[in-house]
């Protein structure tokens, strides 16, 4: 493929790949660095793309593999920087920080797939269709899993209030 096509691919998909990586890393700097590395790898191996899935799903698979390599290399299991997590709807900064920490701790109590879907939806602002395509599930399964996870979060909140 020519450089013009590579540039078009980057322009079209870089935001989606970044959002996905941000959902995994919860860190702007790491997500940005891995996004750049993802496109470098994708352009290097573009001829190996078989078209079995959508191009941005293939790019997200590359991104996820790079993230796992980064975790192994650094022997860290959690890069979450709570100040970088972008959640909407809180009035003041102090309350916002406390609510972010509480929400993240509650989300971490859910199963891995549900956590991933909730983080992709909330922090990555991805659509259920995008989430489904990246995770290899239907849009309906992504939506149902998100809403069931949200219900579990509400139950955890109600249990704590009692």
Condensed to tens digits (0 to 9), the pLDDT of residues 93-128 reads: 445 455 666 777 788 888 888 988 888 888 777 889
Q: Does 100 share its domain with 138?
A: yes
pLDDT in tens, 16-71: 899 889 888 888 899 999 999 999 999 888 888 887 888 888 898 899 889 888 88
For residues 74-109, b (16+ Cβ closer than 10 Å) or e, as one string?
Answer: eeeeebeeeebbeeeeeeeeeeeeeebeebbebbee
Residue 147 CA to residue 130 CA, distance in Å, equals 16
Q: Does 152 share its domain with 93?
A: yes
Residue 121 CB coordination number (10 Å): 21
Q: Average the pLDDT over 82-94 and give the result.
A: 41
Report pTM.
Answer: 0.62
Structural domain harbouring 116: 87-161
CB within 8 Å of 143: residues ≥ 6 apart? 128
Q: Does 114 share its domain with 153?
A: yes
Residue 162 has pLDDT above 60, yes or no: no
Instruction: Provide the domain count of the chain.
Output: 2
107, part of any domain:
yes
Chain centre distance of CA 134? 10
Q: Does 96 share its domain with 155?
A: yes
pLDDT in tens, 129-145: 888 888 889 999 999 99
Which strand (E) or helix (H) includes residue 2?
none
């Amino acid at each position: 493929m020519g450089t013009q096509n590579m540039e078009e691919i980057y322009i079209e998909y870089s935001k989606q790949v970044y959002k996905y990586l941000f959902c995994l890393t919860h860190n702007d700097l790491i997500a940005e660095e891995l996004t750049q590395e993802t496109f470098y790898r994708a352009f290097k191996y573009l001829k190996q793309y078989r078209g079995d899935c959508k191009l941005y799903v293939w790019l997200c698979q590359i991104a996820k593999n790079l993230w796992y390599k980064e975790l192994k290399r650094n022997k860290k299991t959690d890069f979450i920087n709570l100040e970088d997590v972008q959640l909407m709807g809180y009035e003041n900064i102090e309350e916002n920080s406390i609510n972010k920490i509480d929400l993240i701790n509650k989300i971490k109590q859910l199963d891995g797939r549900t956590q991933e879907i909730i983080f992709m939806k909330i922090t990555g602002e991805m659509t259920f269709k995008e989430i489904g395509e990246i995770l290899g599930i239907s849009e309906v399964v992504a939506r149902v899993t998100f809403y069931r996870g949200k219900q579990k979060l509400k139950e955890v909140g109600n249990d704590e209030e009692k």
